[in-house]
Structure 1
């Protein structure tokens, strides 16, 4: 298929990932499914809006651009460089870079959040603090009992941050694929009949 069709598929895949990332970040504001009276008790990494801004808002723009690339008739550009198809594919590389940066931001924030652990009311009387260090709680589930409140805060934060980590990783890969796809289309044209790729039909 044409590179525009490939871009459309990538755009379709990015949109639900962006929406799910936003929802996951929002749920992190309600640790353990509860509403905290003091916002300072929410884990710091949640306030960096990795899922809302990085994997969410910044990902919507590339997704919409990728979807729009299919609107032009693929083989209608053959022999007609003024149609702007190659420029459109080149511009998609720039948007793919924006999406990659957004996904990378969310990935890093999520990784830090997982390694640091949640902020909670500890059993040792230290008040609201981070009882875990350097991800040591990941292999020692018995240490989760150090957090008294909110209930189930450790699995809650761990699950949502892991989801953000996975989804942002997938988004980064998809944006990288489109960057390669856009580069090839910029150099060779969107269809085989358009230039150096050879052949008689659409890719």
Structure 2
């Protein structure tokens, strides 16, 4: 019962994190909280929709499926209750591993977006001013003033991509814990997919 409650809590937490990822990524579309900038004037990694798709919608779907698998009213895939629980745990492991892949990919995309820096207006025109700094601009605060538009574009980019990295990182950890919990049910539990009552 404890494992089941723990598993449900982890899945519910994934839903919250997925919703936060979607919300934060939407904020990236509006530098400095304004919608007056041209849609093309944004970091590539924002407009590829990776965060909304992978750490947002996909994690949301996986979390809902995991919660459904926790309920005893879920579809019975075989006659034995032990067999059925084992298969449900196995499916949960697969979903958790997919979650690790999706959220891990989002961590990479957020890191790349952070390293690349914002697309902003400079004395030379609109460009990725910090693209070739390999993230060195993050500590070179004096260079931020070269981005004249949008206002506070560098801070906006750094804060939101950092938040996305943290949220996606938490998703990776939670999915990993979920996979471990379900594997423990399969390997150390009292039920087995190989031995079913009444066969011998």
Shorter-chain TM-score: which interval? 0.7 to 0.9
1: distance between equivalents of 2:157 and 2:144? 12
| 1:38-63 alpha-carbon deviations (Å, 9 max, x no partner) | 22211111012222011101101221
- Structure 1's 80 and 160: CA in aligned 2 closer, same or farther, altered over 3 A? same
Write out aligned runs for 1:59-138 (5 A).
Answer: 59-72=59-72, 80-82=81-83, 84-123=84-123, 125=124, 127-132=125-130, 133-138=133-138
1: distance between equivalents of 2:188 and 2:2? 11
2: distance between equivalents of 1:195 and 1:99? 25
The number of residue pairs the alignment matches comes to 184
Tell whether 2:58 aligns with 1:58.
yes
1: distance between equivalents of 2:39 and 2:104? 26
| 1:68-121 alpha-carbon deviations (Å, 9 max, x no partner) | 243229xxxxx8424x11110100011111211110111011000111110100
1: distance between equivalents of 2:163 and 2:155? 12
TM-score (norm 1): 0.84
Match of 1:178 in 2: 178
Match of 2:77 in 1: none
Where in structure 1 do 4 or more consecutive aligned residues deviate above 4 Å? Answer: none
Match of 2:197 in 1: none
Query: Comparing 27-36 with 111-120, which one deviates more in the overlay?
Result: 27-36
| 1:12-53 alpha-carbon deviations (Å, 9 max, x no partner) | 111111001000111101111122442221111101222201
| Preserved contact between residue 85 and residue 191 of structure 2 (Cα < 8 Å) | no
Write out aligned runs for 1:44-55 (5 A).
Answer: 44-55=44-55
Give 1:183 shift. 1.2
2: distance between equivalents of 1:40 and 1:70? 44
Gaps of 5+ in 2: 74-79, 193-200
| Preserved contact between residue 54 and residue 106 of structure 2 (Cα < 8 Å) | yes
| Preserved contact between residue 107 and residue 168 of structure 2 (Cα < 8 Å) | yes
| Preserved contact between residue 59 and residue 99 of structure 1 (Cα < 8 Å) | yes
